[in-house]
Structure 1
Amino acid sequence: MNTESVNNRGKGQQGFTLLEVMIAVSILTIGILSVVGIQYHIVNGNTNGNVVTHQLNLAQRIMEQYKNQSNPNSLNNSTLNNVDETGQPGGPYRVDVVVSNPMGGTASRFITVTVTRLGGIGGHPITLRSLTQGNGV
């Protein structure tokens, strides 16, 4: 057997150098960090979407309560602090309701409901406006 062929492998069979391994690990690390970054933005976007959905549902619930009052003259401005998405106490939302008389008469009222998340993720106010004559109209 030729000792020269045993000790001196061909150039293509020498294996990886330390530099090649470091470059491969660096590329892999950049790829993993990119995936983690994208995952963070996806989770954050989903959380913001859930907050907006809760705010909108709460605003619609409060608006319907005001619109279903039989006498629009009895509607007043109000603020609910620390309510949950169903309007019950103990949640992270503030609800501001403003009732105005746009035409000066007694037949209808303009209702504005604004829901804001207090602290945490989200916090952009959601506002609904409606004109009502009472009794759900």
Structure 2
Amino acid sequence: MKIVTTPDGGARVWRVSIDTGGWHEKNDIFSEIVFDVGGEVFRRTPEEFVQEVERFRAHYLEGNGPIFALYETIQAVRDVAKAEDRHLTSKERALIHGIRQRTFVMFEEQLRAAGDPGADPDIARAK
């Protein structure tokens, strides 16, 4: 989920789709999110948000093309560490982080080109 401000000072709530990786507007749950009614609401920095969205997309989506090849690269790195019964090295973690940063931008740019109003590749550039 992400909440973004509107030009008139309001807010829009977007939820990432488990089927497409795109964004669906879900303004009806704004108060639940803002007032933490559901009990499982976490604030994320833009960087944490990007990593979480890409972890979600890589887990639930299947497809072809460069984004999915990069998701497979991440999985291969993780599989090697698991097979060797060890934690990821700092270099491997940095590699995965960088790949997810890039796939987020790539995915969001594709969504924007397809007309998804919730797409925002600039989140990955926010500090």
When normalised by structure 1's length, the TM-score is 0.22
When normalised by structure 2's length, the TM-score is 0.23
Structure number with the bigger relative contact order (C-alpha 8 A, sep ≥ 6) is 2
Return the index of the structure with the highest Cα Rg: 1
Greater helix share, 1 or 2? Answer: 2
